[in-house]
Amino acid sequence: MRNFFNFFTQEIAIDLGTANTLIIFNDDVIVDEPSIVAVNRNTNEVIAVGNRAMMMHEKTHQKIKTIRPLKDGVIADFEAAERMIQGLIDLIPNRRKMFRNMRMVVCIPSGITEVEKRAVFDSAEHVGSRETYLIHEPMAAALGIGLDVTEPIGNMIIDIGGGTTEIAVIALAGIVCDQSIRTAGDEFTIDIMNYMRRQHNLLIGERTAEQIKIHVGAALHELDNPPEDYAVNGRDLMTGIPKQIMVSYTEISHCLDKSVSKIEEAILKALESTPPELAADIYQTGLYLTGGGALLRGLDKRIAQKTKLPVHIADDPLRAVVRGTGIALKNIAKYSFLITHKNL
């Protein structure tokens, strides 16, 4: 009888991120889209979600507004989050839409409050989830990069996402100590926007700052394989006329310096609170970097210089968390003690 009901239940793993939302369905990453929704201001109808909505971002007229429903890793706009999640789920091909029963595993920041957890549970319920599970991002990242989290061995995971940086020491299928700071990819983007305005009198938007971060973003002032200078278009604040300038990775590394230092401080703080036996393990295993921030050039070397420990970047850092969420979904019974459950 249980197997019969399982046939009508669709299983979905979601990495509900500030910058991007990824969904695993049938063991594959089916959806990888920006966490944004575009709505009609007059009728409040959803016009687009994900990539299509991102193309409209900061280019809209009075009748259209774009909303990023998540801020600092948690839901900031409840209604927009539900509509975005529903829109992204609808993008899944070959989904049995007549069967509304869904089992979901959603990953959340380790520093989330009970109120913020409730918002995630409610959003999942409103899009059709009948069984909802929550798993902390560092634990999901550890599963996603292939670590055996059940062993009595200490591993430190540093997940640098869009809204938060999650740092956790994991052993025996639990988080022993953690640090969650709201300095991550979005903060880097704001730093770049402010720098361009202050240093070059150039006004740029979020999307342009994001492209600068991708093309010439760096954590070190000197790189072994430096990227080419990047052409940036924006509005001159002195004349009001559009113009183009060239920026180098050295400039961007200086403007990101303070934010990267905050992440380093949080790592050191987490290491200070680590029990000595686990600290001994971490000396052997090193630190594991996941999330989009792990792709910042030279970040692994800078953290290694600061901590004097080996630093490993995951093979696919952007998808490590969602893959771990998918593993937890497939093995709910095995990892039941890792997740928070609500059966509706």
Q: Which pLDDT does position 334 carry in this prediction? A: 82
Q: Which pLDDT does position 177 carry in this prediction? A: 93
Asked if the domains 2-140+320-343 and 147-183+258-313 are classified in one and the same CATH topology, the answer is yes
CATH class of 147-183+258-313: alpha beta
How many angstroms separate the CA atoms of 68 and 199, rounded?
28
How many angstroms separate the CA atoms of 331 and 327, rounded?
6
184-to-180, 187, 270 alpha-carbon distances in Å: 10, 5, 17
Determine phi and psi for 131, rounding to 5 degrees.
-130, 120
How many angstroms separate the CA atoms of 255 and 110, rounded?
28
How many angstroms separate the CA atoms of 299 and 196, rounded?
22
Over residues 120-168, the pLDDT tens digits come to 999 998 888 888 999 999 999 999 999 999 899 999 999 999 999 999 9
CA Rg value for the chain:
21
Q: How do beta strands 102-108 and 155-160 pair?
A: unpaired
H/E run at residue 143: helix 137-144
CATH class of 186-257: alpha beta
Over residues 192-209, the pLDDT tens digits come to 999 999 999 999 999 999
Q: Which pLDDT does position 4 carry in this prediction? A: 41
Q: How do beta strands 20-25 and 10-16 pair?
A: antiparallel
Q: Which pLDDT does position 5 carry in this prediction? A: 41
Domain ranges of the chain: 2-140+320-343, 147-183+258-313, 186-257
Over residues 286-332, the pLDDT tens digits come to 999 999 999 999 999 999 999 999 999 999 999 999 999 999 999 88
Strands in 37-40's sheet, in edge-to-edge order, are 46-49, 37-40, 64-67
164-to-10, 266, 337 alpha-carbon distances in Å: 30, 12, 24
How many angstroms separate the CA atoms of 185 and 183, rounded?
7
Task: Give the closest residue to 231 by CA, choosing from 217, 248, 219.
Answer: 248
Tokens in use for 266? 């949080």
317-to-11, 160, 225, 226, 296 alpha-carbon distances in Å: 23, 9, 20, 21, 11
Pick the CATH number of 2-140+320-343 from 3.30.420.40, 3.40.1170.10, 3.40.630.40, 3.90.700.10: 3.30.420.40
Start-to-end CA span in the chain (Å):
19
Over residues 30-43, the pLDDT tens digits come to 999 999 999 999 99
Over residues 44-67, the pLDDT tens digits come to 999 999 999 999 999 999 999 999
Over residues 84-103, the pLDDT tens digits come to 999 999 898 876 554 557 88
Q: Which pLDDT does position 332 carry in this prediction? A: 85
How many angstroms separate the CA atoms of 163 and 19, rounded?
7
Over residues 237-283, the pLDDT tens digits come to 999 999 999 999 999 999 999 999 999 999 999 999 999 999 999 99
Over residues 178-191, the pLDDT tens digits come to 999 999 999 999 99
Mean pLDDT, all residues of the chain: 91
